[in-house]
A and B are shown apart, each in its own frame.
Chain A
Amino acid sequence: MIKKNIATNELGDVFNPSTGDSFSTNAVAAGILTHMREGKSIAAIKKIMLETYDADAAMIEKDLDDFIHTLKEYNLLAPVN
């Protein structure tokens, strides 16, 4: 899940106070971040996306995996216990 100190807003702005890095995300990514903040699991987020967007499950899964990989790469995710 996303680190507790990472600041996000509904416009898709992301700020990491530990590194000073800031990022802009699009509306879909902003929605995913909001769900993560609310503590939803990846499976639950995937289900919401399937219901929201007109895309097949494989594509949504791939895009979501890519996005999570990017978050990990930028050190925005908390380590999994």
Chain B
Amino acid sequence: MKQIVVAITGLNAIDSPGPGVAVARAIREGFERPVRIIGLAYENLEPGIYMEGICDKTYQISYPAAGPEILFSHLKAIHEKEGLDLIIPNFDSEIPNFIALSDRLHSIGIRTFMPTAEMFAARDKQRLYAFGLEHGFKVPRDQLINHVGALESAGQTLGYPLVVKGKFYEAVVAHTLEQAQKAFFAISGKWGLPIIVQEFIPGTEINIAALGDGSGNTISAIPMKKLYITDKGKAWAGITIEDDVLIQLAQKFIKATQWRGGFELEVMRHSSGDSYIMEINPRFPAWIYLTAGAGQNQPASLVKMALGENVKAFTEYDAGKLFIRYAWDMIVDVSRFQHFTATGEL
């Protein structure tokens, strides 16, 4: 049986983890054929490089800011050695480069299973409110601001508390103008401008991991209620729940965008029962292994679809499956670290 070679990014299994380790674990568990997993790492301390049973080999690649040309030359060189069948990018910030390269990757025999540039742009944080209006989703009101002085009027319009969000990552709930200003400087210093100021919606945080086939069909959708949230707002523990309204929300999103690939809907369930879409992440979430645990292995299904197999939509999953993340200290000999640092391979 021919071995499939799958490359993945997002090996930073840290306190705000990338999804790569969970994606690799799910593929190994749910893909019925031999699979070789190639890690693509940005930094030499990403835990997934060194973890046993995750990547068969890892290569260092350029940061997204270097652009698609340098990325393509790295991927081509890796492909010549490894014979990649498929690449699954797992970071928001790198996906535009991979989308831009998808035809060229395909021409050298590397498949992807990602949204188009239009789908990717439609769910952008900076356009989310307009997206909600267009497709009939409840989305909190927001304003994009490029200077701190604009916070005052944003606060008057949206009221306090409000949420100050970076264009890629991070969000802070601010109860006063001063808190909002502090968050503005902290987040814009890290992720640049504009800053998104969003209406605060109180409620229960629920995330939905889902997989679309690119023709408007939902292959899988699993809602997860956050049970333990870190100071960075990440779920450290969560539980699958049974809720048709949430499944229908994911189905409606997939139908509206014809989404191709994995994604995550971040939802706030207001006490009125309304579900607000807070954010749409264009890739699998870090907790994606829970979908495998609940009976709908989304990463393995994505691999099958990318290889052209016909994957039927899942209809059932187990509600009441928890994931509980934990920290674990690996002991790694310095020689492995040095080898990766010096050669960009391990």
Contacts and interface: CB of A to CB of B under 8 A. Distances in A.
B313 interface: no
A17 B316 CA distance: 13
Contacts of A15: 320
A19 B223 CA distance: 10
Contact of A5 (B225, B240, B242): B242
Interface of A, secondary structure class, is loop
A60 B116 CA distance: 64
Nearest to B239: A20
B243 interface: yes
B249 interface: no
Interface residues of A, number: 7
Residue with the highest number of chain B CB atoms closer than 10 Å, among A15, A18, A20? A20
Interface string B232-243: 000000111111
Contact of A17 (B204, B227, B238, B319): B319
B242 A18 contact: yes
Contacts of A19: 204, 225, 241
Interface in A55-74: none
A20 B224 CA distance: 8
Interface string A1-26: 00001010000000101111000000
Interface in B239-257: 239-243
A17 B241 CA distance: 5
A78 B9 CA distance: 46
Interface in A19-52: 19-20
A18 B225 CA distance: 10
A15 B241 CA distance: 10
Contacts of A17: 241-242, 319-320
Contacts of B227: 20
Closest 6 CB pairs of A and B: A17-B319, A20-B225, A17-B242, A20-B239, A20-B241, A15-B320
22 contacts: A5-B242, A7-B320, A15-B320, A17-B241, A17-B242, A17-B319, A17-B320, A18-B241, A18-B242, A18-B243, A18-B319, A19-B204, A19-B225, A19-B241, A20-B225, A20-B227, A20-B238, A20-B239, A20-B240, A20-B241, A20-B319, A20-B320
